[in-house]
Amino acid sequence: MKRALKKLAAPGALALLLVAIGGGAIIGAQSFADEVQRERRQIASERAAAEQKLARVQHEATEIDRRVAQYQSLERRGVLAEESRLDWIEALDRAKTAAGLHDVRYAFAAQQTLDDTGEVLTRSSLVTVQGKAGHEGHFMRFLHALPREMAPYVSFQTCTLTRGSAPLSGDGLRTECQVALLTLADPQRGRSGQ
Amino acid sequence: MARTRLLYYSPAGVTLYQWRAGVLSEEARFELSDAGLARFADHCAVLRSGIVHVLLDVVEEAFHIDTIPFVRGADRRALLQRRLAQRYRDTALSTAISLGYERSMRREERVLLSAFTNAADIQPWLQALEHEEVPVSGVYSPAVLAHQLARKLKFSKPSMLLVGFHAGGVRQTYLRRGRAEFSRLNPLAAEDIGDGAAITAALERETDRLFKYLRNIHTHLEGEQTDAIVITPPGQTQRMHGFSTDTSVQLRMQLIDQHTAAKRIGLKQAPPNAGIEALFLHMLALRRPSHQYAPAAIRASYGVRAWQIGLTAGGAAICAACLFAAGVQFLQTWQMEGEIDADRERIALANARYEAITTTFPPLPTSLENLRAVLEQYDAIERASRGPGDMMIAISRALDRTPQVLLDRFDWKVRNDADGLWEVVELTASLPDVARTDLRVIDQISQNLAHILREQPGLEVSGVQLPFDLDSLRTAQSGERTTETDRSPRIRLTVSRKIDA
């Protein structure tokens, strides 16, 4: 038995060696395939992005002039600008005066970033404006004057108009509005895109 | 691949053949003497590299049909060994072949006990092989190969005789249901060997004699026709067409020339002096029968060799399969690399075209991506934003048509829910000219106001709230409490409009 086992040692070792070679080849091939597969996925994703980018730019090429003009308009208006509360307070006063509101009080909340998924950020400052108006026409004028005077984009969130106890006294309407002043921040602004 | 050798032992001597792909060639011939044995022992050393199958074609071969009780496993093996020992004086080269079970309640098994009765003459040759550790697959008899040969010749019948001229004489084997039940070798006189007419006469005579014997011991043969396949020496078939025996009425003779038979079973070439033993040797080389006569000691080296071959072949097969799979994987990977290269080219092309297009652009105030992002975000802000002005105008128009209603409170807000963006107004109004007790008028004015509001494009009115409950499903109650200075009834409405984002 021992002798027979001894005779089987060499073929057994050879068989193990052959199995190891085969196993090694499989593992090597699989590992190489995994690596290439990863690279392929990455390149495919890069290709899709490049082709998408090209398709977009091909589409945009026809209206690039209009877009640049729009962007510059936002810059001029102050939508694409840093927050300047001093300017905003002055703008509020101008709107109030133009509309004929009196006893106006306002409170600014801390600025918040609404969308930070991309490079361009949308920032919002919530302002609560309270005041008194002689009649509904004053309030309507205020609603029109505010976006005109303010540099950032004015987005009304809530507005309340309450009739006072003495409507003919001249201060018969109490008003309260919550307004979001929205600005855009573009870190690439001023650097040429080409 | 191990070389296949066949050792043929017959009264005429011992012949060692080599077999490869249907070609049988003689390697050495040894006479049955001490000198021949000594020469064989010397030759055994070269046999270690291959596998040897031993075919004993001798006169001294005995067959006996016996029945044993229905037992299995080790008990059966012990019982068969005991029966063989009882039947034969020397069981060194013996075997027991199952012939099936009796159809009785006890289900007894029919077995064919077979042994070479002159094992003492053969043993020295086998011991020489054993001593040199030659891998011997087993010791076989033409009887255990006869059915395999008949089937390959397409002459297999339920009950038949296989007859042919071997080197040692005329060999006859009786086969029943695919098993040899009897076989014998009748040696010819030395002067008859090589004489075609004598061989033909011997075939005729011995076939007749055997059939008479079989008819005596197997009564079922008495009334039925039995097939006899006679493999004739080369060129003797024509001569034997006049073959006629006393029993020819019951024996259905079929003749086949040895060369034709060799061709039919795939034996491409055999030594010219070999008889039909060449056919049996070819069958043995192709496929070993499940029964053989050698004890385990003689086959020990074969077991080791089988393991050696099995291990090496198994390892090689696994290795080959793995290499094949790895090759396939590499091929697929290589194809994938082709796709990667193609993608890289497309990326380069897209980038080049992108660059070409952007060079035609005017100077940009920011990157192209950010230009797009700024405008998209601004557009989204604009689309989602509304002032209360439009809603105020719409409600004012409605109030102009209902002079009984005086606006107390206008509460506007933007609501974002699952349906999208809505501007919603909670409207509170009083009816100064209507008595608090005039419920029907209050209800009518409220419904009228709601109706006028609904006429405005996009306006939806819900939650009309009166100073009292008219809903049948709720308990009726009076309206809100009022002070002495505020006696006019109040109504509340919720007006909404969807913002088209």
B466-492 pLDDT, tens digit per residue, is 776 555 555 555 555 444 445 688 899
A112-115: Cβ within 8 A, 24+ apart: A114/A182, A115/B377
pLDDT of residue B246: 56
What is the distance in angstroms between the Cα of A149 and the nearest Cα belonging to chain B? 15
d(CA B94, CA B84): 7
Contact A16 B315 (CB under 8 A): yes
User: What confidence score (pLDDT) does residue A16 get?
Assistant: 95
> For the CA atoms of B246, B248, B249, B254, what is the dihedral angle to 10 degrees?
180
Pairing of strands B94-101, B51-56: unpaired
The pLDDT of B5-14, averaged and rounded, is 92
CB atoms within 10 A of CB A115: 15
SS3 B311: helix
Residue B328 has pLDDT above 90, yes or no: yes
Chain B residues touching residue A17 (CB < 8 angstroms): 315
Averaged pLDDT, B235-244: 66
Amino acid B417: pLDDT = 83
From residue B111, alpha-carbon distances to A9, B149, B178 in Å are: 40, 22, 14
B180 in Cβ contact with B172 (< 8 Å) = no
CA B2 – CA B313 distance, rounded (Å): 11
Whether B366 has a pLDDT exceeding 90, the answer reads no
User: Residue B155 belongs to what H/E stretch?
Assistant: none
Q: Answer yes or no: do A12 and B377 touch at CB < 8 A.
A: no
pLDDT at B37 over 90: yes
Amino acid A164: pLDDT: 73
* pLDDT number for residue A168: 42
Q: Which of A14, A158, A186 sits opposite B374 (nearest CB)?
A: A186
On whether the CB atoms of residues B65 and B181 are closer than 8 A, the answer is yes
| pLDDT value at residue B193 | 66
CB contact under 8 A, B365 and A189: yes
Q: Does B340 touch chain A (CB under 8 A)?
A: yes
Q: Is the pLDDT of residue B248 over 60?
A: no
Q: Out of A47, A58, A122, whose CB is closest to B357?
A: A58
Is the model's pLDDT at B500 over the cut of 90? no
- Considering only CB atoms, which chain A residues are within 8 Å of B344? 43
Who contacts A53 (Cβ-Cβ below 8 Å, separation ≥6)? B350, B354
Query: From CA B53, how far away is CA B123, in angstroms rounded?
Result: 15
A165: which 2 tokens?
A: 């106890």
User: Could A118 and B373 be called an inter-chain contact, meaning their C-beta atoms sit closer than 8 Å?
Assistant: yes
Minimum-distance CB partner of B329 among A33, A188, A191: A33
Please name every residue paired with B38 in a beta bridge, in sequence order, or none if there are none: none
**Predicted local confidence at residue A173, as pLDDT:** 87
Inter-chain contact B336–A191, Cβ cutoff 8 Å? Answer: no
Cβ atoms within 10 Å of B78's Cβ, excluding its own: 11
Contact by Cβ (8 Å): B249, B234: no
CA-closest candidate to residue B270, choices B236, B241, B233 = B233
User: Which residue ranges in chain A fall short of pLDDT 70?
Assistant: 1, 165-171, 192-194
Residue B319 has pLDDT above 90, yes or no: yes
Q: What is the pLDDT of residue B194?
A: 67
Which range (B328-342, B372-386, B433-447, B478-492) has the least confidence?
Answer: B478-492
The identity of residue A144, as a single letter, is H
Helix (H, G, I), strand (E, B) or coil at A28: helix
Does residue B335 sit at the A interface (CB-CB below 8 Å)? no
What pLDDT score was predicted for residue A165? 63
Number of other CB atoms surrounding residue B453 within 10 Å: 23
B136 dihedral zone (left: phi>0; alpha: psi -120 to 50; beta): beta
Eight-class DSSP state of B113? E
Using DSSP, state whether A26 is helix, strand or coil: helix
DSSP H helical segments within B359-464, as ranges?
A: 368-384, 389-400, 439-455
Q: Which helix (H) or strand (E) holds B408?
A: strand B406-417
Cβ-Cβ contacts under 8 Å, A162 against chain B: 408-410
pLDDT at position B107 = 81
What is the C-alpha to C-alpha distance for residues B117 and B166, in angstroms, rounded to an integer?
20
When the pLDDT of each residue in chain B is averaged and rounded to a whole number, the result is: 86
pTM: 0.57
Secondary-structure breakdown of chain B: helix, strand, coil percentages, each rounded to the nearest 5 = 40, 25, 30
| Token pair 């070439």 in the structure block, residue | B269
Q: What is the pLDDT of residue B240?
A: 67
Cβ atoms of B141 and B183 within 8 Å: the answer is yes
Q: Which of B167-181, B362-376, B465-479 has the lowest mean pLDDT?
A: B465-479
**The pLDDT of residue B242 is above 80:** no
Token pair listed for A107: 């409170």
Q: Do A32 and B330 touch (CB under 8 A)?
A: yes
List the structure tokens of A61. Answer: 């090429």
A22 touches chain B (CB under 8 A): yes
- Rounded mean pLDDT, B277-284: 94
* Span B97-151, pLDDT tens digits: 988 888 777 788 999 999 999 888 899 999 999 999 999 999 999 999 999 999 9
- DSSP letters of B173-198? EEEETTEEEEEEEEEPPTTTTT-HHH
